[in-house]
Amino acid sequence: MISVGIGEIQKNSSIFSNLTETMQIVDKRKKQVLAMVYPVQNISIVDKLAGKYHKKVQLTQTDFQSIKESAMQIAMKEKYGLSS
């Protein structure tokens, strides 16, 4: 973890573009940690969250709006007993 003061960031803002590890931004007078900055990762979070099942998920061609309407109709049927 890199510890950087505010003055150093003001002098050299390119620190952020070359960031490879976590960086602490510190107020050296008060000796307080102001912020934690993490490097950007280009790894897809979807693949990480899906785990071993990510290849088993079938993509749908239905647009989001129709899926949302269908879910709303099902919820209304369950709640109010309405028929469409």
Q: For the chain, how many structural domains are there in total?
A: 1
Task: Determine the pLDDT at residue 45.
Answer: 63
Neighbours of 11 (CB within 10 A): 9
10 in any annotated domain: yes
What pLDDT was estimated at residue 42?
66
Does 23 fall in a domain? Answer: yes
Whether 61 is in a domain gets the answer no
What residue type is 5 in one-letter code? G
pLDDT, tens digit, for every residue of 16-75? 887 888 899 999 899 899 999 988 766 666 666 667 776 776 777 888 889 899 999 998
Does residue 26 belong to any structural domain of this protein?
A: yes
20 within a domain of the structure (yes/no): yes
The range of the structural domain enclosing residue 16 comes to 2-37
Taking CA atoms, 63 is separated from 48, 58, 67, 70, in Å, by: 24, 14, 7, 11
77 occurs within a structural domain: no
CB 27 within 8 A of CB 19: no
The secondary structure of residue 23, as a DSSP letter, is E
Q: What is the pTM of this model?
A: 0.45
